[in-house]
Amino acid sequence: MWQYARQPYDFVRRYCGKKCALVGAWIYFRYGYFNDTLELAQKWKILITNQFVGDPRLPSTVDVLVLGGGVMGLSAAWAASKLKRKDGSPVSFVVVEKSDSTITSSWGESRILRLAYADEMKIRMMQRSYALWSALEGIVKEELMQPSPMLTIYHDTTMHLLKNLTTAYNTLGITYRELSPREVKKEYPMVRLKRSDVAIEQTDGACIFATEAVEALKTAVGDDHIAEDEAVSVDVHNRTVTFGSGKIVKYGSLILACGSWTNQLLHNSYLGLMNYITTAEQFTYYEPKKAEDLPLHETSKMPIIISIVLADFCRKPIPSALHNRPHFPDRELGIYCLPALRGGIGAVKVGQHQDGQIIRSLQHILPFKVQLPKLPVSRSSETIKEVPVEKDPYLESATNGFIQQYLPGLDGTHACSYGRCLYQLSCMKDYDFIIGAHWDAPDGRVQVATGFSGEGFKFAPVIGEFLATQAVRALDDEGALPPPSRLFREMKARFDPSRDLAGEDCQASSSS
């Protein structure tokens, strides 16, 4: 008798454990269905294991499983909480966050909200995000945004790009003004432009409290829907995720909003990697030379500033960083500057955009096809193995130069404070976002969001809405959802992760 059950017993024991194997061997001997036996044993293993391990808020089965508890994952969960299944029942969902990371892409005091994009679609995305951020303020009954005008500065080397911005504004009927250096000085006395500069003013900008916004999203999602654990691997065929605690969760649809750790999870799951790299960026704070001048540099008086450049700018060479930025036609980079928030740190926030060191490690894996010398960062030949916490003098030299030139009322000799954050810098051919269905997962059941290059926070509500609707559509084959909006159809086509087939294999380059 035993000899007939020995083969399924050994097989089930290997993958499901001894107790499940004994039960499976008996079922096989009694009924003779090997495949059904294995499937039943696996289900029992999940049920028994999940009773004793992991966060109790993490169920064994869920409609939409969101991995990543930053602004993007929480936004997707918030959107999922408002959706219904085909039968009218609410969508079950849970967000799983890893709690051991202090430096991420979602932490810090503030972020910029702006319509200032030479891109009609991103302006429309931002208009929708504004509406959702305002709705979130209404839910938590707390100020999350402080309005501030937006000033985009073009220099003699980037003047040809100015028309792209004004054309987008004109097409969508957005009001703006073109200001000369003299007009800027009159309107904003704390700002000094060079004589060859031109500024475009747009009044629908705002600064958002970043940490408070993330906490507000947690409130909107609900604590019962937020669990703590670390995803180890994804099985897209059985639609399960295995966590560090040993818990196994079966999902209907999966949303990967893991930030800079996305490729680590994909690599561990033998899935194709996303075409992005992780860079260690830096933001710095500068105080007024005179303490009484702080109100002049707050959101009620000072504009948000974006300085558009295509090459090295306001940086004094230092011995440890002598590499120059290669020229990428029409690639808008530069300096960003946020006024001091009322009730905030009491200093102006400034950063050099997309110019940090590349992190290359087992946690931050590079796609095999990425060619470092060809990346649009000035230090593409430098890589580091850990997320740094110390100040980067190379990046500080850039912001010091900007402050001394454009905001003379601030002490530009050194930063009074600083912080480090992570960018997922898109390496797609168009350098654009990576959002949509993973090509290795059947039926669009796995949605990925990454490669935002430091631009994702402001768009998080609308991207989360897009991800949630795509995930629920995969569950019910359209279900109770209305047809996708024009904006979502455009997002699906434009941000498709497979659009240039950069991640067609799952080879990776980690530590050298």
* Structural contact between residues 343 and 413, judged by C-beta atoms closer than 8 angstroms: no
DSSP type of residue 288: B
φ, ψ of residue 509 in degrees (nearest 5): -125, 110
Q: Position 315: which residue type? A: R
- Please spell the DSSP secondary structure of 256-271, one letter per residue: E--GGGHHHHHHHTT-
Report the largest interatomic distance among the alpha carbons of the chain, rounded to a whole angstrom.
95
444 or 134: which leads in pLDDT? 134
Rounded CA separation 329/164 (Å): 14
Residues in the chain: 512
- The token pair that represents 267 in the structure block: 């690599």
Rounded CA separation 355/336 (Å): 12
Which of the residue ranges 30-34, 50-54, 198-202, 295-299 would you say has the lowest mean pLDDT? 30-34
Q: Is the pLDDT of residue 320 over 70?
A: no
* Structural contact between residues 494 and 430, judged by C-beta atoms closer than 8 angstroms: no
- The SS3 assignment for 322 reads coil
Instruction: Report how far apart, in Å, the C-alpha atoms of 434 and of each of 66, 333, 378, 466, 490 are.
Output: 17, 19, 22, 13, 13
384 pairs with which residues across the strands?
Answer: 359
**Strands 304-309, 333-338: parallel, antiparallel or unpaired by DSSP?**
antiparallel
DSSP type of residue 483: P
Most confident of 153-157, 293-297, 328-332: 293-297
Rounded CA separation 405/399 (Å): 10
Residue holding tokens 């540099």?
A: 297
- Left, alpha or beta for 222 (phi > 0: left; psi -120 to 50: alpha)? left
For the CA atoms of 478, 484, 488, 490, the dihedral, rounded to the nearest 10 degrees, stands at 110
- The token pair that represents 53 in the structure block: 């391990």
pLDDT value, residue 476 = 76
Q: Mean pLDDT of all residues in the chain?
A: 85
pLDDT value, residue 52 = 56
DSSP type of residue 373: G
* Structural contact between residues 174 and 126, judged by C-beta atoms closer than 8 angstroms: no
In b/e form, how buried is each residue of 27-50, taking b as 16+ CB within 10 angstroms? Answer: bbeeeeeeeebbebbbebbbeebb
- The token pair that represents 327 in the structure block: 């020229």
pLDDT tens, position by position, 64-78: 999 999 999 999 999
Q: Is the pLDDT of residue 418 over 80?
A: yes
Task: Please state, as a whole number, how many other Cβ atoms lie within 10 Å of the Cβ of residue 327.
Answer: 10
Q: In angstroms, what is the C-alpha Rg of the chain?
A: 25
- The SS3 assignment for 449 reads strand
Rounded CA separation 145/147 (Å): 6
Q: Position 19: which residue type? A: K
* Structural contact between residues 459 and 126, judged by C-beta atoms closer than 8 angstroms: yes
| Stretch (H or E) spanning 111 | strand 110-113
* Structural contact between residues 16 and 41, judged by C-beta atoms closer than 8 angstroms: yes
Q: Position 371: which residue type? A: Q
**Non-local CB neighbours of 502 within 8 Å, separated by 6+ positions:** 275, 367, 369, 427, 428, 429
pLDDT tens, position by position, 210-242: 999 999 999 999 999 999 999 999 999 999 999
pLDDT tens, position by position, 340-357: 999 999 999 999 988 889
- The token pair that represents 284 in the structure block: 């710095």
- The SS3 assignment for 154 reads strand
pLDDT band for position 284 (50/70/90)?
very high
CA angle 56, 61, 67 (to 5 degrees): 75
Instruction: Report how far apart, in Å, the C-alpha atoms of 70 and of each of 109, 212, 214, 457, 497 are.
Output: 14, 12, 7, 9, 20
What percent of the chain is modeled with pLDDT above 90?
67
pLDDT tens, position by position, 72-127: 999 999 999 999 888 888 999 999 998 666 667 778 899 999 999 999 999 999 99
CA angle 190, 192, 195 (to 5 degrees): 160
pLDDT value, residue 38 = 57
| Stretch (H or E) spanning 424 | strand 417-426
**Non-local CB neighbours of 337 within 8 Å, separated by 6+ positions:** 304, 305, 306, 307, 348, 349, 350, 402, 406, 407
- Left, alpha or beta for 467 (phi > 0: left; psi -120 to 50: alpha)? alpha
**Non-local CB neighbours of 290 within 8 Å, separated by 6+ positions:** 409
